[in-house]
A = this chain, B = another copy of it.
Amino acid sequence: MNKAIVLLSGGMDSLVTAAIAVRDNEEVNFLHANYGQRTEDRELACFEALCDHYRPRRKMAIDLTWMSQIGGSALTDLSMQIKDHDGSLDVPNTYVPYRNANLIGAAVSWAEVIGANRIYVGAVEEDSSGYPDCREVFFAALQKTIEYGTNNAIPVEIVTPVIHMNKSQIILLGAQLGAPFEHSWSCYRNSDAACGTCDSCTLRLRAFAALGMKDPIPYKKD
C-alpha cells in the first residue's frame, strides 16, 4: 500500500500533482505551509477547498513564518517589490532561500511519524521562474539525505511528477484528471483578482491561452 504526502501550496502545479497522487496512491495526506508569504490567506483558502474536494486521510497546515522573519525574498518581505514578468533568466527576487528543502524537510519528518512512503512535490524545472531548488539535481541530492538522515523504517521517496512538463502539459493533465483549477492561486501579488502580469501569472495565462482554454480564476483585466 502506498501512502503519500502531498505538498500543497494552493498553486496550479501542486494542485495537479495532488490529482496525480490521488490517482496513484491508496492513501494521500495533504501538507500546507504558511511561510509568511504575502498571499498566504488565498493559498490557505485554496488548500482548504482542495481538502474538501479530495478528502485526504490527514491534512496539516504548519507554521514556517521564520522564513519571513529572515526575509530576503519579495514573496515574504513587503518592502521588496514584485516585478512584472520581463523574461530575464536570472534567479528572480521572488526566490525564497532554500524553501523547498525546508518544505520537504517538514514532509519527511511527518512521513516518518505517519509511515508515508512518498512525498509529492509540484516543482517544475524548465517552464518556471528559475529557482535552483526546483531542479531535479536538487531533489536527487535531497533524496540521499532522507536515506542517511532518517531511521528509514519505511523508505521515503520524493516524487516530482510534473518536473519536466511545461505549464500547458500540466494544465492538460490536470483537466484530464478533473483537477478543480478554480481552487488554485498562482499570483505572487495579493489582491482580490490575480494581477495577470507577475512571473507566475504570465506563465499560467500563457499556458491556458496556448491550449485555447479559459483560466477559471478571476484576473484584474477581466
Contact = CB atoms under 8 A, between A and B. Distances in A.
Contacts of A60: 69-70
Given A141-B144, A150-B133, A108 B97 contact: yes
A101 interface: yes
A133 B148 CA distance: 7
A194 B222 CA distance: 65
Interface string A127-156: 000001101011001101111111110000
A52 B108 CA distance: 35
Interface residues of A, number: 44
Contacts of A192: none
Given A100-B149, A102-B102, A108-B98, A113 B144 contact: no
18 contacts: A62-B66, A63-B63, A70-B106, A70-B109, A72-B113, A97-B108, A97-B109, A97-B113, A98-B108, A98-B149, A100-B149, A101-B105, A101-B145, A102-B106, A132-B152, A133-B149, A142-B145, A144-B144
